[in-house]
Amino acid sequence: MSTLTGTAPPSLAPVPRGGIRQSVADSLVVAQRNLIRMTRIPEMVIFGLIQPIMFVVLFSYVFGGSLQIGASTSPAVYREFLMAGIFAQTVTFATAGAGAGIADDMHRGLIDRFRSLPMARGAVLTGRTLADLVQTALTMVVLAVVALLVGWRVHEGVPKALGAFALLLLLGYAFSWIGALIGLSVRTPEAATSGGLIWLFPVTFISNAFVDASRMASWLRPVAEWNPFSATVQACRELFGNPGVSASGAWPMQHPVWASVIWSVLIIAVFRTLAVRRYRSATV
């Protein structure tokens, strides 16, 4: 006759895991949950695709031929100049959706339920941002196909083009942490959507995404050149071999690839820390 000791059988005992290992595993589980949710709500993906496609078509054919890039006003030149900006705008505008999704989870009490589980504190936010990164990557594939159809081309080879897309996804992931912080700081998903878009418009338009920054007002040009968004756009144009890599004395424009990586890593380090801290204080 066995004696009840109050301890779990060895086969049922939880396997101890280190902090980093547990955080990674929990983050992947949360990311999987969000990806499954996206597949069950296909309109989220469809609407996410429609907006960037509209921007490509409208900007290409409405502004093409009206703006001067270097010494050319050719619509074909402008389309190649434009695409790096559209790619970067697409990955950053996904930030608003990320913030709204987190705010919705907070509003419905889902975050509180996650807190009751034995999981890493930052896994909820990391998993959410990873899922948004996957959705953004799918959007980029479709957008690249549309860009090729309207005349955009890569002139520096596939490896450099893949490097450019990696920089874009890194920027999108960095900005998603800003969206996460906004989503945790407001009370409703509607407020998160509005708050997520307000700051994105000056970031994307006071940049070299749609116009040559050298033609901006003298006081505005340094703002555009030191904009983290501009560094990634400039890096992509350089790696794609597209027109618009104009001469500039600003360090980010002279070394756009390094500037893009540094800016993105700094944004992740700062805003992930703030978002996780906000998550802990907002859900206790």
The tokens of 135 are what? 């959705």
| Residue whose tokens read 């805003």 | 271
pLDDT tens, residue by residue, 209-264: 888 888 888 899 999 999 999 999 999 999 999 877 666 778 999 999 999 999 99
Cα 9 from Cα 20, distance rounded (Å) = 26
Kindly report the backbone phi and psi dihedral angles of residue 72, in degrees, each rounded to the nearest multiple of 5, phi listed first: -115, 145
pLDDT tens, residue by residue, 271-282: 999 988 888 776
How far is C-alpha 260 from the chain's CA centre? 13
| Radius of gyration, CA atoms only, the chain | 22
pLDDT tens, residue by residue, 193-216: 788 788 888 999 999 888 888 888
User: Which long-range contacts (C-beta less than 8 Å, at least 24 apart) are formed by 265-269?
Assistant: 265/174, 267/174, 267/175, 267/177, 267/178, 267/228, 268/173, 268/174, 268/177
Q: In one letter, which amino acid is 213?
A: A
Kindly report the backbone phi and psi dihedral angles of residue 69, in degrees, each rounded to the nearest multiple of 5, phi listed first: -115, 110
